[in-house]
Amino acid sequence: MRHPQRLLAAPYAPPVGDLDATTILITGANTGIGKATARALAARGAELFLACRSAPKTQAAMAEITAATSNDKLHFLPLDLGSLPSVHACADAFLTTGRPLHVLINNAGVAGQRGLTESGFELAFGTNFVGPFLLTQLLLDRLRDSAPARIVNVASDAHSNAKGIDFAAVRQPTKSRTALPEYAVSKLANVLHAQELARRLDGQQVTSYALHPGVIASDIWREIPWPIRRLMKMGMRSTNDGAKTTIYCSTAPELVSESGLYYERSQRKRTGSAATPELGRALFSRAEAWVVG
Ligand SMILES: NC(=O)c1ccc[n+]([C@@H]2O[C@H](COP(=O)([O-])OP(=O)(O)OC[C@H]3O[C@@H](n4cnc5c(N)ncnc54)[C@H](OP(=O)(O)O)[C@@H]3O)[C@@H](O)[C@H]2O)c1
């Protein structure tokens, strides 16, 4: 039994987390895997910037996370990844805070939706790759200044279904009926982005990772008709499970010397055969040209 006098004498100390000195920006954290990731990182003390489309949805998520973790170092940044001006505004808003950036988590994404982004890219490619590519470029100097720092791309094993990137098609509205082939291309781009970042940032203590979160019962299946969706989701893993590999890539000390690799269930995994250095270099050069105008 603990001595009552010792209990009285103990000074109050707030809970100490291993991420108390870590600042993280995560996109798409108002729901799904992103919210579960933000909650787990907040529980470990991180300061979090939640970059999302909807202020009311994100503020509700932040209130829920603070209530669950007692961490109130949470900030909302408006971000629509389909709009390059919005990505610039989001990066500017973060840079103006003067905060360091230790981890950038490119989590937000769409699947199974058709169309063209405001900035003129195929909907999945523009949202899942072009917007995050620009956001990463705009935050690179802050990541370098905050090193050691990490960039984590939430990709998908669906990237293996893409045989390559048709650079003309990604500037057109979605062609397929399901939009899943286009989703696969966007996720291949996420994997290539992490690989090419590793090559370009070699020796600068900014490392990059891509991952598959698992097949997770999140809102990403919203386009699937309700009765089928309900049945499908019953067999899927939880969003908390889906957050695990992102958290691993964002924080595991043993990954500090690994960069540009792909993970699933917190383990290294081979990428699909289209994820070659040549295609990564070609994609990066195209993307640099696209985002400057
Ligand atoms: N769930 C799975 O089984 C699975 C499997 C493999 C990979 N992934 C990947 O995991 C990541 C997270 O997905 P999830 O399953 O958690 O899906 P989700 O529940 O649908 O969450 C997606 C998030 O992305 C945001 N988002 C969508 N379009 C955006 C835009 N234009 N600008 C800014 N934010 C935008 C959404 O915001 P709103 O709420 O405003 O729409 C939401 O916060 C995605 O990259 C997805 O591709 C998921």
pTM: 0.95
Is pLDDT above 90 for 242? yes
- Judge whether 87 lies within some domain: yes
Please tell me the total count of domains within the chain.
Answer: 1
Look up tokens 């990731």; give the residue.
37
Split at pLDDT 50, 70, 90, the class of 10 is: low
CATH of the domain at 244: 3.40.50.720
Helix (H, G, I), strand (E, B) or coil at 153: strand
Beta-strand relationship, 261-264 and 267-268: antiparallel
Strands in 193-250 per DSSP E:
206-212
Contact in structure between 257 and 174 (CB atoms under 8 Å): no
Q: Would you state the torsion angle of the CA atoms of residues 194, 199, 204, 209, taken in this order, to the nearest 10 degrees?
A: 20
Phi, psi of 259 (to 5 degrees): -155, 145
CB-facing half-sphere around the CA of 272: CA atoms within 13 A: 24
- Judge whether 10 lies within some domain: no
Predicted pLDDT at 1: 40
Percentage of residues of the chain with pLDDT beyond 70: 95
Q: Which of 31, 187, 237 best tests ligand 1's pocket when mutated (most atoms within 8 Å of CB)?
A: 31
- Judge whether 263 lies within some domain: yes
Query: 107-144 b/e with 16+ CB inside 10 Å = b?
Result: bbbbbbebebbebebbbbbbbbbbbbbbbbbbbbebbe
Predicted pLDDT at 293: 67
Closest residue CA from atom 43 of ligand 1: 28
Predicted pLDDT at 13: 55
- Judge whether 6 lies within some domain: no
- Judge whether 182 lies within some domain: yes
Closest residue CA from atom 1 of ligand 1: 216
Query: Containing domain of residue 111, as a range?
Result: 17-292
Q: Which residues line ligand 1 (CB under 6 A)?
A: 27-28, 30-34, 52-54, 57, 79-82, 107-111, 127, 154, 156, 212-213, 215-216, 218-220
Split at pLDDT 50, 70, 90, the class of 114 is: very high
